[in-house]
Structure 1
Amino acid sequence: MAGLLAGLNRRVRALRSDRAGVGAVEFALIAPVLIVLYMGSLEVSVAMSVNKKLARAASTVADLVTQDETVTKSYLGSMVNVAQSVMTPFRSDGIKVRITGIAIDASGVGKATWSWQDDNTRPYATGSQQALPADLAIPNTFLVRTELNFDHDLLLVMPGAVDIDLRTIHMQKTYHLRQRVGDSVTCSDC
C-alpha cells in the first residue's frame, strides 16, 4: 500500500510541475468572454449607425416638405421612399413615417393644421394641441414635424431565440423645421 501511495504522490508532483497545456486552458477560459465582447461591440456600433441614419432620414424628410408651400398625400407618401433611401445600406422595411403641420398661435400653443402617416391616415386630429420644445414654441410661426419609428433587429444575439425581448431595439427620431417659403405649409388633401 505504501508503494501505491508513493507512486501516486510522485505522479501528483509531476502533474503539478508540468506546465504543458496551461495556455490552452487559459484560452478556453478567456475566449468566450472575448467573443461575447467582440459581438457586443459589433452590435452596438451597427445600432449606433442605424440610429444616425434614422436621424438623417427624419431631417431630410422635414427639409424636403418645408421647401414647398403646398403638399399632397401622394407627395407625402413619396417621403417613405426618401427615408428608405437615406437608410441605405441598412434594412429599412418597416419604417414608420408621420408628418405634421403645426401652427403656433399668439400664445405659443402649437396646434395641428394637418397630419399624415404612412398608412394614409391622420395620426393627429386637426386643431389638436401638440407638445413642442420650449425653444421652438415661437408665437405666430409654423413648424413641420417629422416622426420616424424603426425597429432594428439585432444580428448576432442568440439568433435561434424567439422569446427574448432584447432581439429588437425600438428607435424613434423627431425633427422640427420651419417652412422656407411663405407663412406655412398646407396639405391640400390631408
Structure 2
Amino acid sequence: MTRRGRSLWRDRRGGAMVEFAIVLPFMLLLLIGFAEGIQMLEAHRRVSRAASTIGDLAAQYRTLSDSQIADILVAGQLVVEPMPTSTLGLRLMSFSADANGTVRKDWAKDGTTPYAGTAPDSVPSGTLKANQGIVVADASYVYVPMARWIVPSNINLQKRMLLRPRIADAVTRTP
C-alpha cells in the first residue's frame, strides 16, 4: 500500500458524518411512524368519544324527535373535528324488552354519512331484562394514513356504546 493510501486509511475525520448518513433514514422512518401511530390513536379516541357523546345525550331524554336526534348526531360529528368527518358514520338506536323479556328495536337513525361498521343491528343477549330499555350508539371511521408508504391501507375504526336511559325505562322517538 502506498503512503497516501495508508494515510487515508488512518484518517478518521468524517466518520461521524458517515454514521449519521447511515442512521438518518431509520431515524426518520421511526419518527414518521410514531407520528402516524399517534394520529391514528387520536382518531380512535375521537371515534370513541363521538359514540359516547351521542349515546349519553340520547340517554338523557324520555322522548326524542327526529330534529333532536339529528342535532345529537351533529354533536357527534363536532367531537371528531378537526379531523375530516367525511368518513365518519354514526348510528343511534333504542331497544327495549317487554314483560316477557323479548327484545325489540324501537328505532334507529343514521347520521349524514351512514354507519359503515360491522356491529350488528341488535344487542347482546342477556343485556336487557324485562321492561328495560337501552340506547345503542355506534361510530365508524375510516382513518386515511398520511404516510401511505408506512401504512399502505386505510384503517377502519369502530366503537359501540350501550347506555341505560336515565329518566325513563326506554327512550322513544316521535317523528
Normalised TM-score (structure 2) = 0.83
State the partner residue of 1:13: 6
Q: Distance in 1 between matches of 2:122 and 2:107?
A: 12
Q: 1:129 to 1:108 in 2, by over 3 A?
A: farther
Is the counterpart of residue 132 in structure 1 residue 124 in structure 2?
yes
1:117-175 alpha-carbon deviations (Å, 9 max, x no partner): 12598x9xxxx9723275x343431101010111122223449xxxx842x22111111
- Partners of 2:5 and 2:21 lie apart in 1 by 23
Aligned-residue CA RMSD (Å): 2.7
Name the counterpart of 2:145. Answer: 154
In 1: Cα distance, 2:28 partner to 2:174 partner: 55
Number of aligned residue pairs: give it: 171
How far apart in 1 are the matches of 2:31 and 2:102? 49
Query: Structure 1 residue 172 and structure 2 residue 164: aligned?
Result: no
Match of 1:97 among 90, 103, 114: 90
DSSP 3-state at the match of 2:146 = coil
Task: Indicate conservation of the 8 Å contact 1:72/1:187, yes or no.
Answer: yes
* 1:111 counterpart = 2:111: no
- Flag the structure with larger Rg: 1
Superposed, 1:15-164 pairs within 5 Å as 15-105=8-98, 110-118=103-111, 130-132=122-124, 136-158=127-149
Q: Give the Cα separation in 1 of the matches to 2:173 and 2:13.
A: 77
Pick closer, same or farther for the CA change 1:110–1:129 going to 2, 3 Å. farther
1:29-67 deviations in Å (ceiling 9; x for gaps): 100001111111111112111211211111110111111
> Which has the larger displacement, 67-76 or 19-28?
67-76
Q: For residues 90-123 of structure 1, what are the alpha-carbon distances to aligned partners after superposition, in whole Å with 9 as ceiling and x for unaligned?
A: 22233111111111356655431211112598x9
Q: Distance in 2 between matches of 1:120 and 1:54?
A: 14
Q: Is the 8 A contact 1:100 1:116 kept in 2?
A: yes
Stretch deviating more after TM superposition (74-83 or 32-41): 74-83
Point out where structure 1 has 5 or more consecutive residues left out of the alignment: 1-5
Aligned equivalents of 1:93 and 1:12: distance in 2? 64
1-structure distance, mates of 2:57, 2:112? 20
